Every structure is written in C-alpha cells, then in structure tokens.
C-alpha cells in the first residue's frame, strides 16, 4: 500500500534541502561584496542570518530576468557561480560555522515540525486526510508546473482558448520551486517544491527578526539571543480570533452550524497572522520580507558616507522592492 504521508514527508524534506542552493550563498556573497550592515566585520551568526533574507529579496527577480532574456538555466548558472564565490569566501575570509544557542535550534525545529504537519497529508491506516492548505497549494502547484515546463513567461494553466495565454500573476517567488521541480526531472512534485518554500519563508522571517533587533535595538551580544528568540516566538500570537472561532465551534456542537471553519482567520474579514501567512501564502510572506529588508537598507544607507555607499544601499533596496512587487 502506498503511504501518502511518508511520501509527502520525504519529498518535502528533499525540497527543503534543495532550497538551500538558492537561499544561502547569493545573499552571503551580495552582503560581502556590498559590505551591507558592515557585513565583513560581523559575526558568523549575523552573516548567515542576513544571508537568507537577502537571498529571498534578490534571487527571485534575478531568476526572472535571466529567464525572460536568456533562460532559466542561465539563472541556475548565476546561482551556481555565487556558490563558488561563497566557498572561496569561507575558505579565505569567513569565520567558522556559526554556533547558535540551543533555544534557537529548538525554535527552528519547532517551525519545521509545524510547517510539515500542516502541509502534508495525514494517513491513518487506509484513510488519508489532506490538509486544508491544499486548497491554495493546488492552485500554486499548477503555476509551478507551468513555469517549470514552459519557462518565462509561463502559460496560464487554467485558461486555454485554443492557444497559450501568458500567466497574469505575481509569480516571482514561484520561480525557485519551479527550478527545483524542473531540476529534479519532475521527480519531485510541484506541491512538494512549494512546501519546501513554506519552511524557508518562515525561516527567513525568523532570521529577519534577529537581524532587525541587532541593527535597530542592539543591547549587546549577551542579551541578543534571548530577545531574538522572544521576538520569533511572538510571531505566533494572532490576537483574539480564537474567541469568535470558539463560539462558532460551540454553535457547531449544538447543531446550529454545519461546519467548522478551517482557520481562526476566517470568521470575519481576513486579516492574517504571520503563522497563517507563512503556511498558506508563503509568497506573500516573501514579499513582506523583501519590503522590510528594503526598509532596513534605506534606513542604514542614510547613515553611510561617502555618497557612493548610499547609492549601493539604495540600489539593493530597489532590487528588493522590485522583487516584492512581483512576489
């Protein structure tokens, strides 16, 4: 018997591992070359924490322009070149691998467990229960398939009036899972490629919290880890939505409601918390990360001297905002 849950977990973990090819080295190399936030003099922890958000806000638009004017393979080649530069920097100038507090590892592992638990099928015996997030994942999986097979611009997978119609959608973030989907010879499903991105977007936000606290609210290295972990855990707070949702559950138990809402966010006009956004709409969270990184760059760039340093910060911020617009 095919075990859907085991297959989903294996494919999702493989996708998470493959995302590291796109979301570590590009940001690290950019941070080093532009010396953003005094990157070259920072600790290994700060460098790697900043590398992921920097990659999130630059790689999608890089892949878009490579795919639009050359090919997606050209984009993969550029990313591969950053890994060569990354290896050289680590060997010649980089510090040792960062040592993180145990609480930081538990926070990341907790997020990994939550992302997988909410995103994969749950199989109990001969019964398979698909997650409610599958409603959104099914749509984006088709977009990923279209990009991975057609290229840029992709074709609309839901509309074919006798000829291909270009996809009108904010698909910049979907370029990364599309390349993972295509790079594995389509052995890794588009849905698994998307789930891998769910974990990395959440991880990027956790890293961004730590970086922002270090840049804007620096109270010394001894206290930083505690504040960063507290800030990351506060992302799980969603407000009082649980109160009306619990009331609806009581109505359901009394037979006055026919169904339970799939999310605490759905009881009124949808105002999503960070956890919900990461699990359901990772590309929206990627766009938010790009906007916040742009804000940090503009804020820090205004303090730089000479004027050319300000231009460097402004240029990277512009790339981040362009990524956000297409993400």
Structural domain count of the chain: 1
| Secondary structure of 33-99 as H, E, C letters | HHCHHHHHHCCHHHHHHHHHHHHHCCHHHHHHHHHHHCCHHHHHHHHHHHHHHHHHHHHHCCCCCCC
Answer yes or no: is 204 within a domain: yes
Q: Model pTM? A: 0.89
CA distance 173 to 162: 28
Instruction: Kindly list the distances between the CA atom of residue 296 and the CA atoms of 5, 93, 204, 273, 299, in Å, as whole numbers in the listed order.
Output: 40, 25, 15, 22, 5
DSSP-derived pairing of the beta strands 122-124 and 127-129 = antiparallel
CA distance 290 to 296: 10
Answer yes or no: is 207 within a domain: yes
Answer yes or no: is 202 within a domain: yes
pLDDT at 96: 64
Answer yes or no: is 249 within a domain: no
pLDDT at 287: 96
Tokens 């930083």, residue?
A: 224
Answer yes or no: is 49 within a domain: yes
Please list, in sequence order, all residues whose beta carbon lies within 8 angstroms of the beta carbon of residue 107, skipping any fewer than 6 positions away: 206, 229, 232, 233
Long-range pairs of 16-22 with CB within 8 A, sequence gap ≥ 24: 16/112, 16/196, 16/199, 16/200, 18/180, 18/183, 18/184, 18/188, 18/196, 19/176, 19/180, 19/196, 19/197, 19/199, 19/200, 21/79, 21/83, 22/55, 22/59, 22/79, 22/176, 22/179
CA distance 166 to 152: 9
Provide the residue-wise pLDDT of the chain in tens; the chain has 327 residues: 678 899 999 999 999 999 999 999 999 999 999 999 999 888 888 899 999 999 999 999 999 999 999 888 999 999 999 999 999 988 887 666 667 778 888 889 999 999 999 999 999 988 889 888 888 889 999 999 999 999 889 999 998 899 989 988 999 999 999 999 999 999 999 999 999 999 999 999 999 999 998 888 776 666 777 888 888 888 888 778 888 888 888 888 887 767 777 777 777 777 788 888 889 899 999 999 999 999 999 999 888 889 999 999 999 999 999 999 999
- Judging by beta carbons within 10 Å of its beta carbon (0-12, 13-18, 19+), is residue 314 exposed, middle or buried? middle
CA distance 177 to 147: 9
Answer yes or no: is 244 within a domain: no
CB 317 within 8 A of CB 277: no
The span from the first CA to the last CA of the chain, in angstroms, equals 39
Omega cis (within 30) before 306: yes
Q: Residue 101 has which token pair? A: 């507090």
CA distance 53 to 56: 5
Answer yes or no: is 254 within a domain: no
Range of the structural domain that residue 224 is part of: 4-238+273-326
Answer yes or no: is 206 within a domain: yes
Q: Residue 190 has which token pair? A: 């588009």
pLDDT at 95: 62
């Amino acid at each position: 018997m095919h075990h859907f849950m085991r297959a989903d977990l294996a494919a999702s973990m493989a996708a998470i591992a493959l995302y590291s090819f796109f979301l570590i080295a590009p940001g690290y190399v950019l941070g080093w070359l532009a010396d953003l936030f005094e990157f070259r003099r920072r600790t290994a922890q700060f460098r790697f924490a900043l590398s992921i958000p920097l990659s999130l806000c630059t790689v999608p638009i890089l892949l878009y322009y490579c795919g639009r004017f050359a090919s997606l393979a050209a984009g993969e080649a550029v990313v591969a070149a950053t890994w060569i530069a990354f290896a050289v920097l680590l060997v010649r100038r980089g510090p040792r691998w960062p040592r993180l507090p145990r609480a930081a590892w538990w926070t990341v592992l907790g997020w990994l467990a939550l992302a997988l638990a909410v995103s994969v099928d749950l199989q109990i015996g001969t019964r398979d229960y698909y997650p409610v997030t599958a409603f959104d994942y099914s749509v984006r999986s088709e977009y990923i398939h279209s990009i991975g097979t057609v290229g840029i611009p992709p074709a609309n997978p839901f509309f074919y009036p006798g000829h291909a119609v270009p996809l009108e959608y904010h698909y910049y973030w979907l370029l990364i899972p599309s390349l993972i989907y295509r790079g594995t010879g389509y052995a890794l499903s588009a849905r698994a490629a998307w789930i891998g991105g769910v974990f990395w977007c959440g991880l990027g936000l956790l890293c961004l919290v730590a970086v922002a606290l270090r840049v804007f609210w620096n109270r010394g290295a001894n206290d930083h880890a505690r504040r960063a972990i507290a800030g990351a855990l506060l992302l799980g707070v969603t407000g009082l939505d649980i109160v009306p949702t619990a009331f609806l559950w009581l109505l359901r138990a009394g037979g006055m409601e026919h169904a339970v809402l799939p999310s605490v966010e759905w009881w009124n006009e949808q105002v999503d918390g960070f956890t919900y956004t990461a699990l359901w709409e990772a590309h929206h969270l990627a766009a938010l990360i790009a906007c916040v990184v742009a804000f940090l760059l503009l804020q820090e760039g205004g303090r730089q001297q000479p004027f050319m340093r300000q231009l460097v910060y402004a240029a990277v911020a512009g790339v981040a905002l362009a990524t956000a617009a297409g993400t």
